[in-house]
Every structure is written in C-alpha cells, then in structure tokens.
Amino acid sequence: MATARKPTAPTAEAIDRFCGDFDDLFGRLAERTALRHYLIGLLLPRERNKTLTELAALVPGADRQRLHHFLHDAPWDPDALGARRVELWRRHPDLGPHGNGVLIIDETGDRKRGHGIVLTAQQYIGKLGRTANGVVAVTSHWTDGTRHVPLGVRPYRPASRLPAGKADPAFATKPELAWDLIEQARAAGVPFRAVVADCVYGENPKLEGRLRTARIRYVLALRPRHGTWQVVADPARPPAFTPAEAAARLPLEAWRRLVLTDSHGKPLVRHVAELELGSCYGPTRGTRLIAATADPARLTADSTWFMATNLSTAEADAAEVYRIYRLRDYYKPVKHELGWADFQVRSEQAIVRHWQLVMLAFTFSLLSAPPCDQAQETPREDRGAAGEKSTAPHRLAGHIAAGPRLAVPLGAPAAVLAPLVDRPTPTGTGSAT
C-alpha cells in the first residue's frame, strides 16, 4: 500500500489548486512546497529583480536555501513539468488550442556578467541589437492573437563553451533547436496553422526543407539583402536580386494600405504587397514573398519587413500573412515581468528549470482568469482598387498587469494573490515556518 503524501501548507487557493495538478512530479514535500513558493514569487510585484534572495524575502514562509536546492539539486524533471503544463492547457475546454493558431519560434537573449554561468558567451543579444556577453534561449509559443501560451524552451550552448566547439555532440544551431521545438509541439498534439519565425530561421535552408517535407505551413522573415541566384539575360537591365530591390521596383499603386491598431490602441498604418523575385518567389510559385512597410515610397530598413511563406493565396492574402507575422512580437514583455532573466544560478539544468517555472507562472495567469474582452485581429480587406484603404481591428492580448500590485499578465485578477500581497513579509532572505 502506497504511503499517503503529506499535504503542503495552504497558500492561495488558486495556487494550491493549480499546483495540485503537478504534485505527482515531485517526490518530496519540500519540493512541492518550493514549487508553490517559487510560483507565487514570480507572480508577485516586480519591484526588484526576481532573484532567489528576493523571492525568499517576498513570499511568506519561503527560504532561500530551500529554493536554491529546489532549482539546482532537487530530483525533478523540467521537461516533464513542461509537458504536463502543456497538456493541462491543451485539455482546457475554452482556452485550449485550435487549428487557427500559429506556432511562434523565437529567441530570447539576456546580458550576463562574467563567465561563471555555463551558457554565457559573447553572442548576439536581440534586445540589445549587438553582441554582448549573455545567455540565449530558443523558445516556442502558441497564439491566435487573443492569447499566448508558452510551449517549450531550449538553451543555446555557445560553441566557445564546449570542449570540441561546433563539433561537440552537445552543440546545436538555433534552427536545429527550433526544429526540435516544432516536433515537440506536434508530438504534444498542439494544432497550429503555420510556424512563424524571424530571419535567423527563415534563411536556413535545412529548416525550411524540413518544414516543406513535413508539409508544415510557415511564415519566415528574410533580410532585405537576402540574395538569390538568377540568370542575367541583359546586363544593361539586370533583374532584382534581393527582396529590397524587388520592393523598390514595385509601383506605389501595387501597395495595399492597412490601418491596424497597435497594442496601445493607437492607429497603425502599414502597406503590404506581393513580390516576385527570380524563379524562387512569387504568388504562383511554391514560395511567396510578402513585403510590409510603413512607407512604400522610402522603404526604410527599420520599418520594412519581408516574409517568405508557403501559404497559398487562397489560404492567406498578403495582409493576412503580415498579420500572422506580427503575432510574434506580443508576449516578450510578460516574460520580463515574470523574471525570465532574473535567475541566480549557474548550471544549465537550474537555468532551464527557472525558465520552465516562468512559463508555468505565465500559464497559470492565463488559466486562472481568461481575458474576455480581447478579440483577434482580423484585417477586413477593401476589395476595391489596389492601394485603397482597408481597415482592421487589432486588439491582441495585453501585457500590462491587471492590478497595480501584481505581476499577473493576460487578465488574471489581482484578487488571486491579494491575500499574500497584504501579508507582512520578512525583510531578509526568508525563513522556514
């Protein structure tokens, strides 16, 4: 006869109910208790970085050493936690996934000091726009424009930190990590309409070939200077070789004007167009090339985007392709609010565990109180002449905490954790009770 598990001390009712679905993944009472404390700490106000020290000080009953042990040494599987979380969301009758959502592949880079963290190296950090010493992760999440759900994460191991460099068995490129996450989502039974990613993945032939072989639709960014091979029949009149050159040769009347709404409710004007580029890209070819810009007359680099897609014109027009691509930008602020980069550990396992717990907090905030007044952005094309104005309601999921004192994104009410916020908390590192 199995020994009955010891119950954890009560915290917030919603937290205890949610964590109960994961308790069997943790064999010890101390681990189940630390799970609740860590989750609460991530959801409480972001007045400082959410390091272990701060979490222990914020959460009643928490202890820094026990939280460190939970993150660094305790015997639990972060992949199993992530799989259970995704399955819990997938089975939700109202908020579960459907076939009109998309799978976003992205990377998150955060600057870190020193070289004690095993994943740090001089590498490109997207939020800085330059190379710096930091940690990079490749992530996947699902969205339909009304809600975002994190799915998986893979740490990027810099070749410079591996014994055999790029020849090391532990090394994987970012597109290889992306494919691993795509297969993970499919194996978990998460439906999606298309994969969306930036140019790091869009310009990788191996990843694009895998997507085509698997018959997966995609919308992948290309750089303006992404080159193509072509035969030059007339050197005096060479064809366009790059997306930027193809867009520059397009007449202004070929651009379709869209009026969208940004995340702050302000009008957002964009112009979209189908491009043809050599034998590779075109509306009647296997891969289409879509351009979107704030100003088709100037086509400035910082406000012009190019997207390759194997969605047919019957499946998505140019405006719809751009709408799908825009979905990738809308959930990064929540990861920051929940402390994605605030880990105070050095090992890869502990860092990945922290990331999985941040995604758990994100999912809790969605499932505890779903948003009810946010509609999916759906461009309504005006079917008149090219270049005419068309409008599109654009209200994607917000990323501002619902209450002024709680870091709970996506509409979860502040009352969920209010009893814990109002309790007196220790000013030190926390102690066990």
What's the pLDDT tens digit per position in 278-314? Answer: 888 999 999 999 999 999 999 999 999 999 999 999 9
pLDDT value at residue 417? 61
* pLDDT range class, residue 330, cuts 50, 70, 90: low
Copy the structure tokens of residue 326: 């825009």
End-to-end CA distance of the chain: 31
Confidence band of 331 (pLDDT split at 50, 70, 90): low
Where on the phi/psi map is residue 61: left (φ > 0), alpha (ψ -120 to 50), or beta?
left
- Can you give the pLDDT at residue 65? 96
Residue 394 pLDDT exceeds 50 = no
- Average pLDDT value for residue range 74-84: 97
N residues, the chain: 433
For 109-125, what is the mean pLDDT? 92
SS3 275: strand
Q: How sure is the predictor about 358, in pLDDT bands with cuts at 50, 70 and 90?
A: very high
Q: What value does the mean pLDDT of the chain take?
A: 85
Single out the residue of 44, 23, 53, 51 nearest to residue 419, CA to CA.
Answer: 44
Reported as a single tens digit per residue, the pLDDT across 243-277 is: 999 999 999 999 999 999 887 788 999 999 999 99
Report d(CA 137, CA 217) in Å as an integer. Answer: 24
CA–CA distance, 270 with 394 (Å, rounded to integer): 13
pTM (two decimals): 0.85
Stretch (H or E) spanning 304: strand 304-309
What is the 8-class DSSP label of residue 287? B
Spatial CA neighbour of 194 closest among 174, 175, 211: 211
Written as six digits, the tokens of 28 are 């010890």
CB 90, CB 96: distance < 8 Å: yes
Looking at this protein, which amino acid is placed at residue 114?
G
The pLDDT of residue 95 is above 70:
yes
Q: Domain limits of the chain?
A: 1-94+346-373+402-433
Q: Is the pLDDT of residue 170 over 70?
A: yes
CB-based contacts of 230: which residues, under 8 Å, 6+ apart?
Answer: 239, 241, 278, 279
Residue type, 135: V
